[in-house]
A and B are shown apart, each in its own frame.
Chain A
Amino acid sequence: AQTVTQSQPEMSVQEAETVTLSCTYDTSESDYYLFWYKQPPSRQMILVIRQEAYKQQNATENRFSVNFQKAAKSFSLKISDSQLGDAAMYFCAYYEGDSSYKLIFGSGTRLLVRP
């Protein structure tokens, strides 16, 4: 069965600095998708960034970028120029596509941003 592991329960970063959140996953599939979702306190989960496994190029969305290492089954999220509004729970998620439909989430990393 596919699993997603986030080994950092909590991370802290100074405003304007850079932080990297780690995620590893286990799968025997070659085609899949990986996501990072942000869940602010008492607010809905929103998609931060997605990566298709067949793409070698790492995805980037403004201040957010990923380091996708397919062979190592690693998918880390880098947040540059951290802002107070980045404080939230961050979840890494795996999606196999139409063979399964469901997202498999890690346990999350709480990101604190110090002013």
Chain B
Amino acid sequence: EPEVTQTPSHQVTQMGQEVILRCVPISNHLYFYWYRQILGQKVEFLVSFYNNEISEKSEIFDDQFSVERPDGSNFTLKIRSTKLEDSAMYFCASSDTRGLGGYTFGSGTRLTVV
């Protein structure tokens, strides 16, 4: 079964450093998403991406965040200057139909900011 692949599985970074989280969505999917989950809490929407541009973003997705699809397969989330409160599990998801029929989530990157 097709999978969404995320790397790294765990990233530890110092406060103020930049991190890039990487995702390889399912190859025939057109809609891509980043969600985050602070430990033990709900899954929070960050951003959706379609046709090489952001289609929607949440209040969490401020100027320190950016997304990119640098080639035909990767989808990245960059956090420019990490803060302690950015520590969370970051999930990438993809869909072929705007989420109708379900998202396929990757296994996540656990980001720890120290």
Chain A partners chain B: no
Seen from chain B, the residues whose Cβ lies within 8 Å of a Cβ on chain A are: none
Seen from chain A, the residues whose Cβ lies within 8 Å of a Cβ on chain B are: none
